[in-house]
Structure 1
């Protein structure tokens, strides 16, 4: 109660003074805050993140078969983002970018993080480093309680003192897996709760983690706002789904495996519905919910276990691991429960990089004193208008498609190959001291330009038709890529001492 009174008095004082700035403390910079903090108090913030959910895998985004009533309602009553981007076309990189508001290249997470095994390219060293500042850390600085349930995948040594774990990045409470639920979504046995192995849990992963989230909510301090990340494993392989849902979809599916995929997505939707019902029955309002996916859909049978990967890119080109649109353009939904905001469909260019600065502004928190690639989309919530100032730039060195570097600015997207001494740069999992000089010598070549507003499928290169736009984009693209490469973390193995 005292905290609420203090916050209210602060907001009143800021209003009288015409707006205030957050205090500067060690390691952070000043940020405008008072204008966005709701008169209801700091909002609760919930991130719902799917794994390998494609742009076309929800009914609200055009899937003709899968029923996603709860997510459809969120999109209908909130904001449906048609031009929403994950921070990378692969899992670990995407999650690092979401948590930090920075390109995952700056964190040194260039690809998915495998389990620990010493590697010549220093890939075994890769993890979210302690010096990175995350959303839960920023929100904790202004009184939030924080929780992660589901998938972590930001360290090569999970649940080990050798590398930072979720609690080291501001999560008060966590129950997570390193990567996928194992042996599948059904009855997983690889969850760890606050550093302690849980053992086998009966049920399906999406429902298990929502139950865990609700259990945490039952015990939280109701005088404090909360940040909750629900990181679903679905619909990433190995897929397992409730049999009643599978039977429901069999008549409309190509085979049993596709029916399992359809059921898998609906099971996530049902889990989201349970969480929304919890908020309603417990009268939890003033809660901002964002829903998305970490990257695009997996390609059917790209690897041996991907036999149920029937995700769809919709009208987009590519799939997961591509720098074409389907690799990282994913469903985006924003809904602010208990707050009158803009609602409807928006083609504003929004990224998961924007979560940290947006949440910080809404909570009245200071921004980390470091390079951020995201920007606050609070104006979108207020009026439906958001024009991003910073272009979105991706450099994914292990992309399946040929042009591995891309940038979107406004309606346009430019892409390029990377060549070294006249040859295409080999696919790379990691940047380390053994290859960084070659990467810095490599050049961007063979540019193409697309107008995504008119050509969502990236079907026509318009570089020759729009030479002025092309040359302007090309110049900025080169500059943005160089700045990103110069700011990328390079992994160096320290000499071992006896």
Structure 2
């Protein structure tokens, strides 16, 4: 019997041995009110577009398991990743803070010393993550799949997954290599694994189920399953490729369609495991780290046939398709609201939501996320703080954006009358210029009426525009002032 179970039984014994009826009732109420901590599972795809699931409108790809998860749970039509690019998005999800505060402004490449100090970038030890928060109240924790939160992976030079609260992890630095098929670059708890036969999505589900088999069943668990799919280099099971070939434009598109369904099948296996092993009271959230890759944006993106649906842009854009992604929440074994909601929810909200459900204290840091526990009761959630993004390496010109309620405002960044060049990282060589730069050329959209961001309504709605612009400028300044700047220590420069 663990300590929590012992205390619970002790309370019951006290309750029924107490001669004072009022005291007995007080103790009984305390026992009855004891929160039951849910298991929590985060399923995260890589480069999955808003329009890539059947339940979000894809006309060809079959995603039966995810469709059912949405149908029996909560389908979030206005769900946002924390950034339009991988590493930043993952840092924001784990910490509940804008990735700019963590100093992760772009994807993190492999270690190579660079003038802009990009080689220093990693999730710093001072950040507090979801698994750390949950471990403080008795959770066991596991990560399988993609990490991508450090430039020096599996090295003592920078913190690794276990330093952020993961008891167990099997992960890669970035993409599965050489592809999703038979990857060779997984590391398990600091030890290189070598080539693993099979496809990445199925491999990490195998690993997750193996960990679940060995866990302490009296403790709640937190499990992050970070799929590599459908990020390039794409590889898919041949039977699924052949299934889609008659409906696809070409072999490469068929491979993409098959890649997404292979994730769905992997999710189905995990859900079946929960059912077979009678694992209930389990909160599952599903999403993507950012929007879909642009076909042939780089040489290896020849199978990138992801779809943004009705949204404008793609991955690396601050228009909607860059970070508005499929969102599904389902609480297995709990009677909650089910249906579709247009509540504005972000992956930033995971940490405060999970903390509230688990009975954990929030870290003593600025958080940009808010708890959406009210969604489970009524399907309603009204966020108090707007969502603000500053992605300095965006493909589109307006690299700063903010959503509040139905409205979204965007702006360019200009310095001395010229648009600021694209930036991968903030360091002591560019921070002064960035702080001198100004937001210009604002546009305003009503996303409720215009999901495609097709009409700037700043002139038609002058009062709304004025209010949004004032708050936008204030929120961006606060974010920039709170952003981490990477400075190379002189003794370590050479």
Partner of 1:265: 260
Distance 1:76 1:205 in 2: 27
Distance 2:344 2:397 in 1: 24
Distance 2:44 2:391 in 1: 21
Deviations 1:214-258 (A, max 9, x none): 000000000100000000000000000000000000000000000
Quote the offset at 1:204 in angstroms.
0.0
After TM superposition, what 4+ stretches of structure 1 lie above 2 angstroms from structure 2? 4-13, 15-20, 37-40
Question: TM-score if structure 2 supplies the norm length?
Answer: 0.95
Partner of 2:292: 297
Partner of 1:208: 203
Partner of 1:409: 404
Task: From 444, 451, 467, give the equivalent of 2:439.
Answer: 444
Check whether the contact 2:35–2:359 (CA below 8 A) recurs between aligned residues: no
Deviations 1:118-146 (A, max 9, x none): 00000000000000000000000000000
Quote the offset at 1:381 in angstroms.
1.1
Task: From 328, 342, 345, give the equivalent of 1:333.
Answer: 328
Gap regions ≥5 residues in structure 2: 16-22
Partner of 1:370: 365
Task: From 350, 372, 385, give the equivalent of 2:380.
Answer: 385
The DSSP-based 3-state class of the residue aligned with 1:159 is coil
The DSSP-based 3-state class of the residue aligned with 1:174 is strand
2:98 is equivalent to residue 103 of structure 1? yes
Structure 1 residues 39-48 or 277-286, which shifts more? 39-48
Quote the offset at 1:4 in angstroms.
2.9
Gap regions ≥5 residues in structure 1: 21-33
Distance 2:268 2:429 in 1: 49
Question: TM-score if structure 1 supplies the norm length?
Answer: 0.94
The DSSP-based 3-state class of the residue aligned with 1:148 is strand
Aligned pairs for 1:97-496 within 5 A: 97-496=92-491
2:68 is equivalent to residue 73 of structure 1? yes
Count of aligned pairs: 482
User: Would the alpha carbon gap of residues 493 and 293 (structure 1) be closer, same or farther in structure 2, given more than 3 Å must change?
Assistant: same
Quote the offset at 1:496 in angstroms.
2.0
Check whether the contact 1:83–1:347 (CA below 8 A) recurs between aligned residues: yes
User: Would the alpha carbon gap of residues 380 and 10 (structure 1) be closer, same or farther in structure 2, given more than 3 Å must change?
Assistant: farther
Task: From 94, 119, 141, give the equivalent of 2:89.
Answer: 94
The DSSP-based 3-state class of the residue aligned with 1:248 is helix
Q: CA RMSD in A?
A: 1.9
Distance 2:419 2:490 in 1: 32
Partner of 1:48: 43
Check whether the contact 1:123–1:429 (CA below 8 A) recurs between aligned residues: yes
Check whether the contact 1:38–1:362 (CA below 8 A) recurs between aligned residues: no
Distance 1:9 1:491 in 2: 52
Aligned pairs for 1:9-20 within 5 A: none
Quote the offset at 1:382 in angstroms.
1.3
The DSSP-based 3-state class of the residue aligned with 1:46 is strand
Distance 1:19 1:330 in 2: 42
Aligned pairs for 1:29-40 within 5 A: none
Quote the offset at 1:414 in angstroms.
0.2
Check whether the contact 2:85–2:107 (CA below 8 A) recurs between aligned residues: yes
User: Would the alpha carbon gap of residues 253 and 417 (structure 1) be closer, same or farther in structure 2, given more than 3 Å must change?
Assistant: same
Distance 1:110 1:467 in 2: 32
User: Would the alpha carbon gap of residues 380 and 18 (structure 1) be closer, same or farther in structure 2, given more than 3 Å must change?
Assistant: farther
Based on CA coordinates, which of the two structures has the bigger radius of gyration?
2
